[in-house]
Amino acid sequence: MGEGIGDYTKNVIDLRRHMWMAGVEVELRRLIWQIAVVGKYISAKIHEANRKLAGLKNIYGEEQLSLDRSSDEILKNQLQFSGFVREYASEEQEAIVKIGTGREKYIVTADPLDGSSLVETNLAIGTIIGIHKEAVFDTGKNTMVAALYITYGPLITMVYSAGCGTHEFVLNREGEYVLAQENIRLKENGSIFSPGGLRNEWIPEHLRFIEQLEKDGYKLRYSGGFVPDINQVLIKKGGLFTYPALRKSPQGKLRLLFELQPMAFIMEQAGGQATDGRTDILSLKVESLDQRSPIYIGSSAEVQMVKQFLK
Ligand code: AHG
Ligand code: MN
Ligand code: MN
């Protein structure tokens, strides 16, 4: 018999049991679980994409939505009936969507599918979720209560934090998210770096910082997928991911609300740090949905070091 569904005799800890043992508030843990389940539906969509790669039509012969759009639809529809979400803010929607009755506790933000252009290369991609109380146009510190991301790679893994540490789960063959690592802690220093943006677009201070990491023997690890690149730093327990300010785009590329705040929340809960170079990501105020920010995120020594270079 495989380990998984309800097989508590084997001491397998699944996501629901973990959240219950960790004392996550009941509505929040139901919401997190529902979102994790949506990850299974999105991964099924990603698998459908391999029919396209193989030159086959969609089984129903219909025009297909892009993967980003269909992932967004799946998430929105599921959250609509969750009973816990009153507003849904997504990278794929122009405005915040009111769902539910308006009396629900939470607002959910989503990058439903990050890195969709990597699908045809068979590299890993992901889903990024933030969970807020009250409002989103404020600092993450004031409003965030939880965050999670799902990595669709050779394995499907889910990392969440509800404010008591950062934990990793792996989806097993029975369709249960099983605890892989509890309370992941980053070391003070890492040995990998993951730098986004074209080198000749970097500002001199950033270039000098990266050259210092290279001199110090840091290994380059950049896939071009934000989720697996961040996940690598977390699972290797240290190192740095950055998508910096560029000459032509001083705010960088990645979005504060949908991408950066959730990852900053998760990293901080693992003992790491996240900054735009001066200010902590979670202390930046969100003013608009598509607001972007440079980011340096990972173990504390590297994040402190970049602040010196950018001063
Ligand atoms: P999205 O697919 O949601 O538009 O985001 C892609 C992002 C992110 O995954 C990655 O960190 C970054 O784009 C890579 O950008 P470059 O191609 O400039 O390296
Ligand atoms: Mn994205
Ligand atoms: Mn996206």
Give the domains, in start order, of the chain with CATH numbers.
Answer: 15-181 (3.30.540.10), 192-310 (3.40.190.80)
Distance 307 CA to ligand 3 centre (A): 29
Q: Is 68 in the pocket of ligand 1 (CB under 6 A)?
A: no
Distance 111 CA to ligand 3 centre (A): 5
User: How many C-beta atoms surround the C-beta of residue 49 within 10 A?
Assistant: 17
pLDDT tens readout for residues 155-202: 999 999 999 999 999 999 999 999 999 999 999 999 999 999 999 999
| Helix or strand holding residue 130 (H, E) | strand 125-133
pLDDT tens readout for residues 256-292: 999 999 999 999 999 999 999 999 999 999 999 999 9
Q: Is 259 in the pocket of ligand 1 (CB under 6 A)?
A: no
Q: Is 241 in the pocket of ligand 1 (CB under 6 A)?
A: no
Q: Is 112 in the pocket of ligand 1 (CB under 6 A)?
A: no
pTM, to two decimals: 0.94
Distance 92 CA to ligand 1 centre (A): 14
Alpha-carbon span 144 to 136, nearest angstrom: 8
Q: Dihedral sign for Cα 282, 285, 290, 294, please.
A: negative
Top-confidence range, 2-6, 46-50, 110-114: 110-114
For residue 269, give the 3-state DSSP assignment. Answer: helix
Q: Is 115 in the pocket of ligand 1 (CB under 6 A)?
A: yes
